[in-house]
Structure 1
Amino acid sequence: MKWTEVSVHTSNEAIEAVSNIFIEAGSGGVAIENVQDFLSTPDDGFGEIRILENQDYVSEGSLVKAYFPETKNLMELIPEIKQRILALESYGLSIGPNTFSIEDVQEENWASAWKKYYHPQQITRYLTVAPQWEEYEPKLDGEIVIRLDPGLAFGTGTHATTRLSLQGLETYIRGGETILDVGTGSGVLSIASSALGAGEIHAFDLDEVAVRSAKENVKMNAYAQNVSVSANDLLKGIEIPADIVVANILAEIIVPLIPDAWRLLKPNGIFITSGIIEAKKELILSELETQGFTILQVLQMKDWFAIVAQKVEED
């Protein structure tokens, strides 16, 4: 089958938003090329990071590559996609150079390209993310492997925002918790929560493609069958008391989520938010404190921040 690759050179902070625009436009998958995700990832004592053997990376920002089947009428789609990406600036997101390129590719070339971009990576001390097609055996006592198919690129575990979320979960999960994962994408945070000992995990995403992706990834990990995945708009209409709420989404979407997270968290419950850029950090901190949350930690990796807050039980 023939596919058309539409590539956009954008800023790192706009990666998730641009990827979502492509998926909503009918893309069959999204690839993200950003060499800095690997070159500037700290060792953290977890082992050597493998650098991808590819010389085509841009020096600044990222390339977001979307793949459309030849049956799609791209001449109608491209103007709409460009308009939606331009509109991201109204949300305070830089879209970088925002240059487009279009190229025809064969399905077999696209399929084999994934294996060049993704390899097992140790994300935290106990969690390693490995693509489902590669053989990998744990190398450390207590190491748990999360199997993912990153073909739809809803989160492979390597991006800084996901790493920060995983570090937060690893710190605060003690065993048996009920967890709500908002904007689950690939399901990696929910699967990790199960691996770390959470008792009941509910994963939500507004995008049906993401829901299907997360469900498939849950099936790949036998230990994660306590994860349920469903379509939902943030936490609207949800009535599940939770010990931890985790959301790796855009800062603008975190703000309206805060009251529902407060409503559903049990006393002393933990709220982990990630996907926050420097320009939005103070906004999120202010909104959390106004709601009544106590800030426990502000985590940083490269240009990204995660905030861990607690609904402290009143005396």
Structure 2
Amino acid sequence: MTQWKEYSIQINREVSEAVSNIFIEAGSQGVSISDRADFLNLPEYGFDTLWALDEKDFPADGIVVKGYFSVNVDEEEMIANLKEKIEQLKDFGFELGPYTVTAHSMDEENWATAWKKYYHPVRITRFMTVVPDWEEYEPESGDEKLIQLDPGLAFGTGTHPTTRLCIQALETVLKGGETVVDVGTGSGVLTIASALLGAQSIHAFDLDDVAVKSAKDNIQLNQLDAEIQVQANDLLKGIDLEADVVVANILAEIITPLIPDAWRVLKEGGLFVSSGIIEEKKTLILDQLKEQGFDIQQVLQMKDWIAIIAQKPEDN
């Protein structure tokens, strides 16, 4: 049986996406995140199917991000490299706080399948339920929409507060027939939700080729290939589109340079939905959106996470 090394980084929640990217850039074969906020974040809607979570699997402080590498990788060198990359995050304004980096060996079977026992159908908004591909599930009402998802280890299950906030925002702004651009698509959950909510043309981008494949696989699961185009790209650099909605569930530090390009590709009256923003960064992003010329339509919050709906004004 193939052996793998699991490297675990326990660190401040703010840097979860950045640390995930460090693992992916280092060649990790998968990334998982254990966040106590996910354990404590019970759904707002009355239903019985939930994550079968065990509290002891979640850190009391911060988060644990895990990456998986071949046992042939030198452990001391990998730990030193991970620590160096983490320290470099300070140059981008991240506050790291105390953190630890550890490693242990595990079998491929445990790595590839054990996590699935925690993942069950979850209604993430009043009208939208994420269903893992290996689970059977029947809608509880006629207006319930199902997102079939095989998230893999790297790109999440669609149940994180930032994703929920984005889908709530999309339910608010999509009326049908829109062109939507999803920046940093990950598992593709927001593109699938957009299609189910009536968007006509959807373009999804992610910098990571593995994420692009993950999104394409999930889009195929939902039989939405015709509505959604996915490709690798660095945010919206070089993209020439006219969008009704741009949605980005990424770090605040990445939203900042994205704002001018979101403005560029949006039609007059178009909407920019941004999430992945911790409460401490809310004012920063709001100020930058206003400086660009956006009108703030709505600010959504779930625990410590923020999503913003901003509109590009029409030229009167």
**TM bucket, shorter chain:** over 0.9
Matched, 1:251 2:263: no
Alignment match, 2:47: 47
Matched, 1:290 2:291: yes
Matched, 1:106 2:141: no
Q: 2:44 corresponds to which letter in structure 1?
A: D
Q: Partners in 1 of 2:61 and 2:105 — Cα distance?
A: 25
Q: CA deviation at 1:51?
A: 4.7
Q: CA deviation at 1:76?
A: 2.9
Q: Partners in 2 of 1:95 and 1:130 — Cα distance?
A: 34
Q: CA deviation at 1:285?
A: 0.8
Q: Partners in 1 of 2:132 and 2:60 — Cα distance?
A: 26
Alignment match, 1:161: 162
Q: CA deviation at 1:124?
A: 0.8
Q: CA deviation at 1:244?
A: 0.1
Kept in 2, the 8 Å contact 1:194–1:224? The answer is no
1:178-215, Cα deviation, whole Å (9 max, x unpaired): 00101111111111111111101000011111111111
Alignment of 1:49-88 (within 5 A): 49-53=50-54, 55-88=56-89
Kept in 2, the 8 Å contact 1:152–1:213? The answer is no
Q: CA 1:96–1:56 in 2, change beyond 3 Å: closer, same or farther?
A: farther
Kept in 2, the 8 Å contact 1:241–1:266? The answer is yes
**Which TM-score applies when normalising by structure 1?**
0.94
Alignment match, 1:20: 21
Kept in 2, the 8 Å contact 1:195–1:223? The answer is no
Q: CA deviation at 1:116?
A: 2.2
Kept in 1, the 8 Å contact 2:34–2:63? The answer is yes
Q: Partners in 1 of 2:282 and 2:54 — Cα distance?
A: 34
1:206-234, Cα deviation, whole Å (9 max, x unpaired): 11111111111111111454111101111
Secondary structure of the structure 2 residue equivalent to 1:156:
coil
Q: CA 1:278–1:90 in 2, change beyond 3 Å: closer, same or farther?
A: farther
Secondary structure of the structure 2 residue equivalent to 1:233:
coil
Kept in 2, the 8 Å contact 1:30–1:66? The answer is yes
Q: Partners in 2 of 1:46 and 1:147 — Cα distance?
A: 21
Alignment match, 1:281: 282
In the alignment, structure 2 segments of 5+ residues that lack a partner are none
Q: CA 1:46–1:87 in 2, change beyond 3 Å: closer, same or farther?
A: farther
Q: 1:44 corresponds to which letter in structure 2?
A: E
Secondary structure of the structure 1 residue equivalent to 2:236:
coil
Q: Partners in 2 of 1:12 and 1:81 — Cα distance?
A: 17
Alignment match, 1:184: 185
Q: 1:196 corresponds to which letter in structure 2?
A: L
Secondary structure of the structure 2 residue equivalent to 1:84:
helix
Question: What is the aligned-residue RMSD (CA, Å)?
Answer: 1.6
Kept in 1, the 8 Å contact 2:75–2:103? The answer is no
Alignment match, 1:233: 234
Q: Partners in 2 of 1:163 and 1:86 — Cα distance?
A: 31
Q: 1:161 corresponds to which letter in structure 2?
A: T
Q: CA deviation at 1:64?
A: 1.0
Q: 2:45 corresponds to which letter in structure 1?
A: G
In the alignment, structure 1 segments of 5+ residues that lack a partner are none
Q: Partners in 2 of 1:197 and 1:71 — Cα distance?
A: 48
Q: Partners in 1 of 2:92 and 2:261 — Cα distance?
A: 22
Kept in 1, the 8 Å contact 2:161–2:305? The answer is yes
Q: Partners in 1 of 2:312 and 2:57 — Cα distance?
A: 46
Q: Partners in 1 of 2:91 and 2:241 — Cα distance?
A: 34
Q: Partners in 2 of 1:24 and 1:202 — Cα distance?
A: 24
Secondary structure of the structure 1 residue equivalent to 2:45:
coil
**Which TM-score applies when normalising by structure 2?**
0.94
